[in-house]
Amino acid sequence: MSDLNKIPFGLRVSDDELVDVYDVPNGKQCGCVCPSCHTPLEARQGDRNVWHFGHASKKVYKETKNECEYSFYLSLRMMARQLIGNQLTLHLPELIGKIEYYEGILRYRQNKEFIVTKERNITIEALKVEDTFSGVAIDLIGSIESFKFVIYFTHPGRVVPDALFSPEDTKCGIIEISLDSLLCKFKSAKSESKTYHGILADFLTHDKDSKRWIFHPRFEQCAFSMLESLEKGAVNLTYNIIPLNPTNHSKHSIPKPFTPESQKLAKFYDFGTEKPLNSLVNFVCVMCDSHWEGYKAGGNICPKCNSHLYSKQIGESLSY
């Protein structure tokens, strides 16, 4: 049997509550069904294997196996919602942004990091489960003072929707919590005299490695502040702000809409518009009148004079 079909939490029929396999009678007397396909479960509390719920109906095994490919993770998400209640304390990782840039005559690549938030504990209040935010279904949403805070659980086969990287309401924080590592943690539960719901509760609060920032309300403000610092005294600055999720979004933009203050800065920096770090351009040497095509960053060395001192950019290359 696949580990993904070894369900740690079953749905108890008598009260419609999710229960740990450690808290029910062994075998078919557990009185539970699968939270995914509602097939009857049996609690398998043997001496050799890790304890788990298994689908009890052998007649529909093939059908059940297909329907419940991710029943392990579904039961985790459902139990997490049940455990949390209306308040949750989370240990969050730090968030560091990065700007790549070229500056001056030599045009070599440099990096500058900026801290958006330090590692810390937060308490989210007024939690609601299975709500919608920015047009997509999310697992949890609550508040920290006047800011909304969203939690989205991920696992194999479930990724963060693109809409959460650029939320309509930017006065919010969004965190992804990956459940992938729990499969390994649950395997050691019996040897460490722990229960699954105990491991899950501790994981949600304290495991910072499973958490990733998807959106932070101060990200663009901190990015603009760093750009202002870089701009002072800079010559021919070309920059590239790395967003929180470069695989899903343009490497040259950050979440919108901008605040009024950041719109002003965005106009100054042309932020959100691609500023290529190494596009092809045309050069001319004012000393020997040579013309050539080269990369904007580092391609300004005259092939005849072997120097960049007299080179001048005269336009974007038509081949770019």
pLDDT-derived band at 56, boundaries 50, 70, 90: confident
Q: How does the average pLDDT of the chain come out, rounded?
A: 78
What is the predicted pLDDT for the residue at 65? 47
Residue among 160, 165, 168 at smallest CA distance from 134: 168
Q: Residue 138: pLDDT band by 50, 70, 90 thresholds?
A: very high
Q: How many whole angstroms separate alpha carbon 10 and alpha carbon 36?
A: 10
What is the reported pLDDT for 9? Answer: 87
Q: Please determine, for residue 292, whether its predicted confidence score (pLDDT) is greater than 60.
A: yes
Q: What is the mean pLDDT of residues 153-158?
A: 88
Predicted pLDDT at 227: 85
CB atoms < 10 A from the CB of 105, how many? 10
The residue that leads in pLDDT, 177 or 145, is 177
| C-alpha to C-alpha distance for 258 and 9, rounded to whole angstroms | 43
Alpha-carbon gap, residue 107 to 300, rounded angstroms: 9
pLDDT tens, position by position, 19-31: 998 989 998 889 9
Identify the pLDDT of residue 2.
55
Residue 74: per-residue pLDDT: 82
Using CA atoms, how far apart are residues 297 and 281, in angstroms rounded to an integer? 9
Residue 258 has pLDDT above 90, yes or no: no
Rounded mean pLDDT of 240-265? 50
Residue 265 has pLDDT above 70, yes or no: no
| pLDDT tens column, 78-107 | 888 888 877 889 999 999 999 888 877 666
